[in-house]
Structure 1
Amino acid sequence: MTHSPAPGSLEDILERSGGIPSLTDFPGVDDLLASFTHLADLHPELITTRRIGTSRLGEPIPLFSLGDGPRSYLLFAGVHPNEPIGFRTLQHLATVLATDDALREAFDATWHIIPCIDPDGTRLNEQWYSAPSERTHYARHFYRPAPDEQVEWTFPFAHKQAWFDRVLPETQALMRVIDDVRPDFMVSLHNAELGGVYFYLGTEVDGAVDALHAVPRSLGLPLDTGEPETPTVRAFGTAVYSMISMSEEYDFLAELGIDPVPLISSGDSSSSYAAKYGTVSLVAELPYWSHPDADDDTPSEEPYVTVLHRKADALVETGDALQRIIDAADLTLDTPFRRATSAFVPYLSANGETEHRRADGESIARLASRAEVFSNEDVVRCFRLRYGGMTLRMLDAEVAAGSATPGTRRARAEMQALFAQWCAESETQTELTALPISSLVGVQFGATLAVARCLIDAESTT
C-alpha cells in the first residue's frame, strides 16, 4: 500500500517541491497579471482582487487574496525587478492553493499575494526573460533600480545621522497592505545570481533551519557556503541568516572608521517595517547559475585577507573604469539607467575601500575556503556584468534619442569594448551550470510552505 504523506507536512512539501512542471522562461508583467486574473475568474468563491496602489508610471498594482483562514500570510514578487523567479513561484503557489482543498485547509490561512510590486522596473528586464540561461545576455539587458528606487529598500528609516523618508508609491502601497493584513508570515521573493541557495529569516524559528536545508537538498541544489552578502548578518545555521539591517550596516561602517551617511542612500526593508506586528519574514535567495566551488568548504592555498584585498582592488578598479567612461559622455537624458549607474558606480569604489579596511582587521593566518574564494571573485564578475550592461544601456538611450554628441559616442564605443572583455572573461567559467527554473521555483515554493509549517507547529507548543 502506497504511503501518502499528510497534506502540508514536510514530507508532502518536499514531494510537491520536486513536482514543479518544466519551465524555460519568466513571464512579463502583462502575462503574469493575466494569469492571476484568469485564476481569480475560475475561482471567484476563493479569490478576491483589489487595487492597492499605482506605480510611478501609472500602472495599477493588484492584490489577490486567496482563502479565508485566520492566519494571515503576505507574499510579493518583483521587489527587485531583475529577480523574477518569484513570479513563477507565486503563479504555481496560487494555482495549487486554489485547486487543492486539502493543502489549503492544512494551513488554514488567508494568502495575500501581490504578483508584481514594481511593474515599471520589471518591464525594463523583460527582454532577457525569454532566455534566462545566458549570463551575458542577461547582463546586456539587465536593469536594477538605484537603491532609493527599490521597493524593498525604501521603507522609512532613521538611525543616528541617517534618515530616509522618500517612500515610493509602490512602497506606500505595500506599507498599506502590511498595515491592513498584519501578516503573521511574510515572504519577499528575491533571488541571487550565481552560487548556491541561501535564506534570510526575520527571527529564529524552531525547526526552520533543518526544514530550509531539506528543501534544496531534495532538489539536488547546493547551499551557498561562501561569503555572505554582508558581514553584518548573523548565521542561524549554514546558509540561513538574519535579515539585513540598515542600522546594523550603519554601525558596522562607523566601527571601521567610515562615514556611513553617504553610503546609506536608501531606507529600511519590508521585514523591518512589518516587525511591529510580530511578523516572521522569509527571503529565499536562489541562483540562476551554479558552480562546483559554491559549497566547497575545503581550504584554499590563499589567506582570507589576500582574497579580500584582491576583491577590494578589483572593485575599485571597476568603479574607476566605469566612472571614467560616464564622465567622458555628455549625458542629456534622465533615464532609470542613468539614475541607477549614478548610484551604483560610485558604490563600487566605496565598497572596495570598505573591504580593504575589513581585511585589515582579519587574521592573516586563516586560509579562505574554496567557496569563499569563488564567492568573492564572483562578486566582481557579477558587478562588472550588471553595471557594465546598465552603463551601456544608458549610453544606448542617448544614441537612440538622437542626442549623442561625439564624446558620448566615443564613450559608448569604449564601454562596448570593455563590456565585451568582461563578458569574455565571464565565459571562461566552463563549469558554470544553468539551473532548472522548475527547481528554483521548487525551492521558493517549498521554503515558503516549510517555514509556514514550522510556525504552525510552534503554535501548538505555546
Structure 2
Amino acid sequence: MKYPPNSGGDPTFSRQELAAIIGNRPPSVRELHDRIRDFSTRFPRLCRLTKAGKSRLGNELELLSVSGGPYEIFVIGDPHNDEPVGRATAFALAHQVVTRAELRADVTWHILASSDPDGAMLNDRWVTANATPTWDSYFRGLYRAALADQPEWTFPCPGFNAPLPETQTMMSIIDGFKPGLFEVVSLHNCMAGGAFYITPNKDARLVDLLARTAGRWRFTVGSTSIDTVGLESAGPGVYVLDPADRSVPGAAATDRRPCGASSIQYAHRHGGLGIAPEVPMWRTRPQVLPARKRAEALDRAAETLHDVLDRIRRYQVRASPFGPAVNDTLAIISGVTAWLRQNPDEPSPHDSPFKLSARAAGMLLRDIDIQLEAERHPVLLEERDRLDRELTAWLRGAEEEFRPVAVSIAQAVGFQLDTIVSSMRLFTGA
C-alpha cells in the first residue's frame, strides 16, 4: 500500500488526505491487522509492534507504539464491537504520527487498533458491505455484545473485579504509565445525532475543544444517545462519568449480568486523562417525541421480542453469541423505559425506541439463523418470518421519520483525529 505525503502543520486534516489513507469505509478486522503490520514494517525505526495479549478466542491484540516524548497517549479502537469508525481513526493516526515529527516531539503513542477483534469480526458483514451503509444492512448484520462481554465495560470498580482477558491487556498497558503524564482516548461512534465527549475528567477546556473540533468537521454538538442518559454535563456536548461508578445505561434493570467500569474511568483513577469522542455514522432529521411516547414504543417492541423468544426458546439448542446479546438489549430496553417514565420532563434520546428495538430484532434473527442450521423446525421458520416482517416495518418507518444520510468515513475520522491531536496539544502545551 502506498501512503500519501502529509500536508503538515494544522491539525485539521483534509478529507481528501484522509480518504487516501483509509479508503471509503472502515477496514475489516483482518484488513486492519494487515495494514498495521505493513505500516510497522515500512517504518521500523519509528514503530514497534508488540503482541500485548490475546482475545478470548485467541486472536492477537497487537499494540503499535511510536516513540517520542515523555507524555504517553493510549488510543483504543473497537471499544464497542459495532463501532468501526475508531479502527479507521487508529490507522489514520498511525500514519500521522509517523509522518509528522512534531507529533512525536512531546508524546509517545500507543495504538490498540482493535480491542475486541472477536466481537468486531461479527460486524464485518455490514461494515464491508458497501461504502455507504444503510440502516437495513446495519441492523441485519449487527452484533452488540452484552455489557458483561464487552472489554470496555469490565474494568475493575467497587463491587466488580472480573476483567475479561482483553480488559486485562488494556489494564497492563495503562498500569505502565506515569500518573499525570498520560491520556487514554477510547474511540467510539454512535448511530446518529451530534458529536460529543464522555469523560470522567470534569475539565471545562474540553467544552471548547469539542466546539472547535466539531465546528471544523461540521458536526452539531450534543447527544441524542442513551449513552448519556442521566450523566452530568460539563458544558454543551461534554458528559461526565463518575470516576468510580459503573455508570452504564439501563443499570437499574435487575436481570443483567454484572459489569464494571470503562477504560477512561480506569485511566482517571490512575492519574490520567480519559476521553471518549463519539461521532455519528448518520445524520438524521431532528425529532421531538415526549418521553411517554418513547416509553410506549419501547414497551410495544419489547412485547413483540419477548413473544418471539418465548415461542422459540425450546428450539434454541445451539450456543450463539447473539442470544446473550439479545437478552442484554432487552434489559437495557427495560431500564431505559423505566427511566423515561420516571423522568418525563427530561430530554430523552430521540432514537432510543427504534435503535434498541431494531438492534435486538436484528441479532435475534441472526440467532434464529444459527438455530436453523441445527434443525429447520417449522416454529423457527415461522417466527423468523414474523420477526423479519416486524423489523422491515420498523426500518421503513424509521427511515421515513429520520431520513438518515450516512456520514463519510473521512469526515468521522477527521473529527476523532482532530480531537486526539488537539487534546494532545492542549494538555502538553505543545
Report which stretch shifted further, 211-220 or 76-85: 211-220
What is the CA-CA distance between 1:382 and the residue it aligns to?
A: 1.0
Determine the structure 2 residue equivalent to 1:325. Answer: 308
Go from structure 1 to structure 2 and tell me whether the alpha carbon gap of 1:381 and 1:430 turns closer, same or farther (over 3 Å shift).
Answer: closer
TM superposition shift of 1:271: 1.6
Residue number in structure 2 paired with 1:297: none
Aligned partner of 2:324 in structure 1 is 339
Partner of 1:164, secondary structure, is: coil
Residues 29-70 of structure 1, C-alpha deviations (whole Å, 9 max, x = no match): 111011111111111111112111111111111111102311
Structure 1 position 207 matched with structure 2 position 205:
yes
Q: Is 2:244 the counterpart of 1:289?
A: no
Q: Deviations over 1:192-211 (max 9, x none)?
A: 00111111223133533212
How far, CA to CA, are the matches of 1:126 and 1:227 in structure 2?
23
Aligned residue for 1:434? 406
Which residue is 2:174 aligned to? 178
Q: 5 Å matches for 1:91-170?
A: 91-105=91-105, 108-130=106-128, 131=130, 132-158=132-158, 163-170=159-166
Superposition TM-score, scaled by structure 1 size? 0.84
CA distance in 2, matches of 1:157, 1:405: 44
Paired residues for 1:28-39 under 5 Å = 28-39=28-39
Distance 1:233 1:79 in 2: 20
How many Å apart are 1:73 and its aligned residue? 0.8
Structure 1 residue 94: Cα displacement: 0.5
| Alpha-carbon shift at residue 402 of structure 1 (Å) | 2.5
Q: 1:207 to 1:346 in 2, by over 3 A?
A: closer
Partner of 1:444: 416
In structure 2, the CA distance between the partners of 1:168 and 1:409, relative to structure 1 (3 Å rule), is: same
Partner of 2:49: 49
Instruction: Give me the whole-angstrom Cα distance separating, in 1, the residues matched to 2:366 and 2:252.
Output: 32
1:455 pairs with 2:423: no
Counterpart selection for 1:280 from 273, 286, 293: 273
* Corresponding position of 1:349: 334
Could you tell me whether the CA contact under 8 Å between 2:200 and 2:243 is conserved in 1? no
Q: Using a 3 Å threshold, how does the CA distance of structure 1 residues 18 and 285 change in structure 2: closer, same or farther?
A: farther
Contact residue 46 and residue 67 of structure 2 kept, 8 A: yes
Residue number in structure 2 paired with 1:60: 60
Taking only aligned residues, the RMSD between alpha carbons, in angstroms, comes to: 2.6
1:357–1:235 CA distance, 2 compared to 1 (3 A):
same
Does the 8 Å CA contact 1:205/1:455 hold for their aligned counterparts?
Answer: no
Shift in alpha-carbon separation, 1:413–1:15, aligned structure 2, 3 A: closer
> Is the CA contact 1:232–1:244 (under 8 Å) kept in the aligned structure 2?
no
Aligned equivalents of 2:310, 2:42: Cα separation in 1: 54
Counting aligned pairs with the same residue, the percent is: 26
Give the whole-Å Cα distance in 1 for the aligned partners of 2:261 and 2:156: 6
**Residue 24 of structure 2: SS of its match in structure 1?**
coil
CA change 1:321–1:430 in 2 (3 A) is closer
The Cα shift of 1:259 comes to 6.1
- Contact map agreement 1:319 1:347 (CA 8 A) in 2: no
Q: Secondary structure at the match of 1:344?
A: helix
Structure 1 window deviating more from structure 2 (285-294 vs 378-387): it is: 285-294
Residues 136 and 385 in structure 1, CA contact (< 8 A), matched pair in contact too = no
Mapped to 2, the partners of 1:417 and 1:226 lie a distance apart of 27
In the alignment, the residues of structure 2 paired with residue 448 and residue 151 of structure 1 have an alpha-carbon distance, to the nearest angstrom, of 22
Structure 1 unpaired stretches of 5+: 1-5, 295-299, 363-367
Partner of residue 308 from structure 1, selected from 291, 299, 308: 291
Cα-to-partner distance string for 1:158-212 (whole Å, 9 max, x where unaligned): 2xxxx33332111111111111235611101111001111112231335332122
**Alignment TM-score, normalising by the size of structure 2:** 0.89
Q: Which 10-residue stretch deviates more, 389-398 or 128-137?
A: 128-137
- Cα distance change of structure 1 residues 261 and 292 upon mapping to structure 2, 3 Å threshold: closer
Question: 2-side partners of 1:54 and 1:180: how far apart?
Answer: 18
The alpha carbon displacement at 1:88 in A equals 0.9
The one-letter code matched in structure 2 to 1:171 is T
Q: Distance in 2 between matches of 1:443 and 1:412?
A: 39
Task: Tell me if the contact between 1:55 and 1:120 (Cα under 8 Å) persists in the aligned partners.
Answer: yes
Q: What is the deviation of 1:337?
A: 0.4
| Matched residue, 1:376 | 349
- The answer (yes or no) to whether the contact 2:157–2:246 under 8 Å persists in 1 is no
Compared with structure 1, are the counterparts of its residues 285 and 189 closer, same or farther at alpha carbon in structure 2 (3 Å cutoff)? same
User: Which of 381, 397, 409 is the equivalent residue of 2:370?
Assistant: 397
Asked if the contact 1:157–1:164 (Cα under 8 Å) also holds between the matched residues in 2, the reply is: yes
Paired AA for residue 275 in structure 2: L
CA distance in 1, matches of 2:187, 2:209: 18
Specify the SS of the correspondent of 2:374: coil
Q: What's the CA shift for 1:422? A: 1.0
Shift of 1:230: 3.5
In the alignment, the residues of structure 2 paired with residue 414 and residue 119 of structure 1 have an alpha-carbon distance, to the nearest angstrom, of: 32
Letter in 1 for 2:384: R
Alpha-carbon separation, structure 1, partners of 2:308 and 2:404: 30
Matches of 1:350 and 1:103 in 2, distance apart? 43
Amino acid at match of 1:402: A
Secondary structure (helix, strand or coil) at the match of 2:65 reads: strand
What one-letter code is carried by the residue in structure 2 that aligns with 1:173?
T
Distance in 2, matches of 1:391 and 1:171, equals 27
SS class of match (2:227)? coil
Residue of structure 1 in register with 2:261 after alignment: 268
Contact kept in structure 1, 2:157 and 2:261, CA below 8 Å:
yes
2-structure distance, mates of 1:382, 1:58: 31
**One-letter code of the match for 1:428?**
E
Deviations 1:282-315 (A, max 9, x none): 1111111112427xxxxx6x7xxxx111111211
- Give the 4+ runs in structure 1 shifted more than 6 A: none
Q: Which deviates more, 90-99 or 175-184?
A: 175-184
- Deviation for aligned residue 1:17: 7.2
